[in-house]
Chains A and B, each alone.
Chain A
C-alpha cells in the first residue's frame, strides 16, 4: 500500500519498491557537499532562531560593537570605510556592511550573525573535504563534521556577530588547501591556501600567527623535497598573497591614523588594555608559560568537551605513526593544525591576551570562547582516529553522539561568559534610559565608542545621533563647546581612559549639564533646558555661513567642497596647451624627420634652421 513500509529486512527500509535508506545514501554520495551544506544550513538557521528568541544573540558586548562598527560605515555623522577603525581587523565588519544598513538586520544582530552562519556551514564542508583528502571513510568524515557542527559553543557563536567562526572558516579552508597541495602539488591549491591565510590575517590576529607558521612549514617542506631554489620561489609566492592582508593593515593604519602601528600601540589597542589589566593584577598568565598553557587547555576542553579532547589526542598519535605520510608532511600538517593552540598560549604568556577560567583564575569567565579555535583540528583528528580504529569506530561514533547530547544539559560556557562573565558588561541601564528619553528628539549624544559602543547599540537610536571619535570635526568641535553640539553626554566620570571624560574634564561647558543617571559603567549628563536653545541641530552641509564661522564649517567638511576652482581651471588650460604644443611639435618633427630640406623648400622653416636640424638629426642617428 502506498505510504507504508513494506519490509525492513536486513538494512533495507522499503516503501513500496523504493529503498529509502539506500536512495538517501546514494543521493548523499552523489551530492555529498550539497547534502552537508543543506543540513548545516538548516541547523544554523534553527539555532540562530533559538538563541535570538531567547535574547542571547546580542549577549556579548563585543557583538554589539562589531555591529556598530559596520553600521558606522553606512550611517552616521561621518560615514565611509575609515569607520572600520584600527584595533579590530576589518574583514568581519566589512562583510557585515552589506546588510547592516537595514535597521532590523542591525538591531537583531542578524547582519553579523549571517557572516558567522555562512562561516559555520563553510567550515563544516571544509572539515569534510579535509578528511576526504586524508582518505578517511564516510563514517569518519561524518563523525568529524558532527564533532564540529553539533558543538554547543560553536552553535551559539555562529548565531552571534562574533568573529570566531569566520576565523575558523578561513583557517579550516587554508588547512584543506594545504592538504590538497601536499597531495597534488599544484600551484592552484597553493594559491587558494594563500588566499585563505590572507583572509584569516584580516579576521583576527591568530591569522597572523597562522601566516608565520604556514610560511615556515611550506618553505621547509619544499626545501627538503625540491631544494633551495624552488623553496625560495615558493616562499615569495606564498608570502606575497598570504601576507598581503597584513601589509594592507599596516598601510591602512598609516593612511587613516598616520601610524602603521596604531592598531598595536594606539590608545585603544589591546596592548594598552592589557597593560591596564596587568597593572590591576588581573593578568595571571603573563610570564607564566605553564599556567598559560593550562588556562588555555582548560578553555579548549570547556568548549569542546573532554571526550573530543581524548579522541583528538588519539588521532594525533595515529597521524604521527602514519607511514603513508612522510615526516615533513606530517610536521607541516600538524604545525598548521595546532597553530591556534600555540598562538593563544603565547598570547597569554606574553600578556597580549587575557582569559579567565572559573576555578583557575577567578570566579568569572572571560574570553573563554577563545578555546573554540581548536574545534577544527580536534574534529579532523577525531575523524582520523575513527577511521584508523577499524573495530571500535562505531562505538566511538556512538559515544561521540551521546557525549554531545549530554553536553547540552551541562550549560554552554560561551553563553555563560556572554551573560554573566566579564564579557557581559550590563549597559542596558544607560541604553534603556537613552532609548526612553532621547527617542523623541533628534539631539545628539556625545559618547566615546571605544568605551561605550554597547550603549550606543542598546539605545536603539540612529548612529547619526552620536558624536564620537570617528566623527572628525564634530568630535573636536563638541570637545571644545559641548553645549553647542550635544544635548546628552555619556561618559564614565573620573575615568581618564574614557575619551569623552578626558576631553571634557576641564571644559567649563560641562557645568551646563546635569547628571541625570549614574550607571555601573557610565553616567548620563543632559544639557539644562535654558541652554538647549543654542544647540546646533543641522548637519554640516545644511549650515550656511550665518550659522557658524567658516572655521567651524571647515572643520566639519570632509575637504570635498573647499577646492580652488581657479587652480583646476589653470590646470585644465595647461593640459590643453601641452596637448596642442605636443601635437604641433610631433607634426613638425615628423616633417623635419622625413625631409628637413624639403621643409625648407616648402618654406616651412628658414634654410639655416633647416640645415642645423638636418645636421643634428644625422648626428643623433650616428650616435644611436
Chain B
C-alpha cells in the first residue's frame, strides 16, 4: 500500500530503427519495458497514479475520515447528496444517449447495391492483426472465419501474433494449413506481457493501407471489411476509426451469457451510437476497430501498459482531434460462460477503465479547457460508471437496511437524506434502477433478442458480479496494475463448422431494423 506513494522514475527507450517503433519502450525504476510504441510514458498507464493523484486521494480519504469522526451527520449527508446527484446525472445522461441513439440512429448503414458496386480490383491491402495467447483451442475456428471474409485474398494481410513462450498455440498454428495471406509472427518476449504490446509489434509489420484487430474467438461478419472500406469513404476525414458492433454467438448458453449478451447489445447497439450522435469520445471495443494504418501510426499505436488499450485509444484519438464512428456490421464473439472466467475478464476491463480514467485526468484543467462538455461526458461515462460499481453495493445495503432494520438504523438513515437529497436519492433508486434494467431490455429489443428480455429481471445480480469484479480490479490496480488477466476461450464451444454455416450474411441487419436475429448457438 505504501508503494503507491512512491514516484516512479521513467526513461524512454528509443526504437531499434528510425521510422519504426519496434524495440521502443520505457525504463521504470530500473526495469525495462519494451512496448514497441513511442508514446510518452506520461501519457500511458506505466504509472498508475501520478503524485498529485496520490496526494489527492489520500487527502480525500483523510478528510472523509476526519469528517466522519467530528461531524458524521454532515459528512454523510454531503457524501449521500453528492452520490445521489451523480447517480441521477448518470441516469439522465444514459437516457439522453438512448433517445439520441434510437431517435436518430447515427451508425453508418450500407445497402446491398453499395456493397455489390465495389470493384474488387481497386480494393486496398487490408491488414488483420490477431493476437493469440493460449488460444490453441480456437485457432482453427478463427482461421475458418477469416477464410469466410469477403475480401480478395491477394489484398489480405493477416498476421497471427504469437507469444514467444506460448508453444502450444504455436504448435497448433503451424500444424494448421495456412493460406498464403496468413502469416504467424512471434512477438519477442518482453514486459509488459499484454495484448497491446503484441498489437504494436504487429503494427510495425503491417503492410496494408487499413488495419483491423480481431480476437481469437471472433467471427466477423463476412462483408465487414467491405463495409469498413465503404464507411471510410462516407465519413469525414477526421473520423479515423470505425468500430463494428460486437455481440455473441452463444447468447443462450446459460444465464450469464444471456445477461452478458444483453449488456453487449445495450453497449454496442445503443450507447456507442448515442455517443457518436453527440460527437464525443467513444471507448473502443476490444476488437473490430478499423483504422487507416497511417492514422494509427500517427497515434503511436496502443498503450502497452493499459489492459483496456482499446478504451484508451478511443479517448486518445478523440483528444487528438479525431472521431470514431459506429458502422452497421457485427462481429460475434464468445460470451464468457463460466463465472470465475467472467470475473477475471471483467476485473481486467474495470482495471483498464480505471487506468484510462486516471491517465486522461492527469491534467484535468487542460482536459476541460480542451474538450469542454466532452470532458464532462468523459467523467460521467467512465468515472461515473467505475465509481458506481463500488458505490452501488453500499447504496443497496443502506436501502435494504432501512427497510429490514428500520428500528435500528431508520432514523439515522433518514437524517442523512434530508429533503431535497431524499427526493433525488429515491428517484435515482427507484426510477434509476428501473431505467437501467429497462435499458438492457432496449438493447435486446434492438437486436431482436426477444427471448433474453425475460432475464433482465436478474440484471441487479449481474451488477453484484460487476461490483465483485471491480473489487478484484482495484486490488490488482494497486498491486499488479499491468497484469493481464487472460480470458479462457473455447469453453463449451459447439462444432465450429455448424457455427460458420449458420452465419448467413443476408439474414443480417438491413439498415437499423434487424430483420432476423443471428443466433449460432442452438439451445434457447
Q: Which residues of A contact B (CB under 8 A)?
A: 80-81, 184-188, 190-191, 229-230, 232-234, 236-237, 240-241, 244, 248, 251, 559-560, 562-565, 567-569, 571-573, 575-576, 579, 583-584, 586-587, 590, 624
Contacts and interface: CB of A to CB of B under 8 A. Distances in A.
Given A81-B423, A572-B68, A590-B479, 15 more contacts: A187-B102, A233-B445, A233-B451, A237-B450, A240-B437, A248-B430, A560-B415, A560-B418, A563-B411, A563-B412, A568-B76, A569-B72, A573-B68, A583-B1, A586-B478
A493 B73 CA distance: 48
B61 interface: yes
Contact of A565 (B1, B73, B430): B73
Interface string B55-78: 000000100010111001101100
A191 B435 CA distance: 12
Contact of B453 (A233, A560, A564, A624): A233
A176 B445 CA distance: 21
B177 interface: no
Nearest to B449: A233
Contact of A80 (B419, B441, B452, B475): B419
A564 B434 CA distance: 33
Interface of B: 1-2, 61, 65, 67-69, 72-73, 75-76, 102-103, 340, 411-412, 414-415, 418-419, 423, 430, 434, 437-438, 441-442, 444-446, 448-454, 456, 475, 478-479, 513, 524
Contacts of B68: 571-573, 575-576
Given A237-B453, A579-B65, A586-B475, A568 B73 contact: yes
Contact of B454 (A236, A563, A564): A236
A584 B448 CA distance: 49
Nearest to A234: B450
Contacts of B446: 187
B450 A559 contact: no
B102 A559 contact: no
28 contacts: A187-B102, A187-B442, A190-B445, A230-B450, A232-B453, A233-B450, A236-B441, A237-B441, A244-B434, A248-B430, A559-B415, A560-B418, A563-B412, A564-B411, A564-B412, A568-B76, A569-B69, A569-B72, A572-B67, A572-B68, A572-B69, A572-B75, A572-B76, A575-B65, A576-B68, A579-B61, A586-B475, A586-B479
Contacts of B475: 586, 590
A191 B442 contact: yes
Nearest to A566: B72
Given A241-B438, A573-B68, A590-B479, A559 B411 contact: yes
Contacts of B437: 240
B24 to A, nearest CB: 29
Contact of B450 (A232, A240, A564, A568): A232
Contacts of A185: 513
A237 B524 CA distance: 19
A582 to B, nearest CB: 10
A248 B435 CA distance: 13
Given A251-B430, A579-B61, A586 B1 contact: yes
A110 B192 CA distance: 68
Contacts of A568: 72-73, 76, 412, 415
A576 to B, nearest CB: 4
Contacts of A233: 444-445, 449-454
B438 A240 contact: yes
Contact of B415 (A187, A563, A586, A624): A563
Contacts of A187: 102, 442, 445-446
Nearest to A188: B102
A185 B445 CA distance: 12
Nearest to B524: A229
B73 A563 contact: yes
A563 B74 CA distance: 12
Give the 8 A-B residue pairs with the shortest CB-CB distance, closest first: A233-B450, A572-B68, A568-B72, A587-B1, A572-B72, A563-B415, A188-B102, A233-B453
What's the dominant secondary structure at chain A's contact region?
Answer: helix
Contacts of A251: 430
B450 A229 contact: yes
A186 B513 CA distance: 7
A508 B238 CA distance: 84
B49 to A, nearest CB: 15
B131 to A, nearest CB: 26
A573 B69 contact: yes
Given A186-B513, A559-B411, A568-B76, A232 B451 contact: yes
Nearest to B413: A563
A388 B411 CA distance: 66
Nearest to A236: B453
Contacts of B103: 188
Interface centre among A187, A190, A586, A624, by most chain B C-beta atoms within 10 angstroms, is: A187
A376 to B, nearest CB: 24
Contacts of B61: 579
Nearest to B415: A563
B475 to A, nearest CB: 7
B496 to A, nearest CB: 26
B102 A191 contact: yes
A128 to B, nearest CB: 20
Contacts of B340: 624
Contacts of B76: 568, 572
A472 to B, nearest CB: 14
B486 to A, nearest CB: 15
A571 B72 contact: yes
Contacts of B418: 560
Contacts of B65: 572, 575-576, 579
Given A236-B441, A237-B445, A586-B1, A559 B414 contact: yes
B368 to A, nearest CB: 30
Contacts of B430: 248, 251
B54 to A, nearest CB: 14
B472 to A, nearest CB: 12
Contacts of A586: 1, 475, 478-479
A590 to B, nearest CB: 5
B65 to A, nearest CB: 4
Contacts of B456: 236, 240
Contacts of A184: 513
A196 to B, nearest CB: 14
B312 to A, nearest CB: 25
Contacts of A587: 1-2
A184 B446 CA distance: 14
A571 B412 CA distance: 10
Nearest to A227: B450
A599 to B, nearest CB: 15
A433 B423 CA distance: 38
Nearest to A563: B415
A572 B63 CA distance: 12
Nearest to A569: B72
A563 B413 CA distance: 9
A587 B2 CA distance: 8
Nearest to A587: B1
Contacts of A572: 65, 67-69, 72, 75-76
A96 to B, nearest CB: 17
A170 B513 CA distance: 27
Contacts of A188: 102-103
A75 to B, nearest CB: 15
A184 B340 CA distance: 43
Contacts of B449: 233
Nearest to A562: B411
A251 B433 CA distance: 15
A260 to B, nearest CB: 14
Contacts of B478: 586
A576 B65 CA distance: 6
A423 B429 CA distance: 40
B431 to A, nearest CB: 8
Given A188-B103, A572-B75, A567 B412 contact: yes
A279 to B, nearest CB: 39
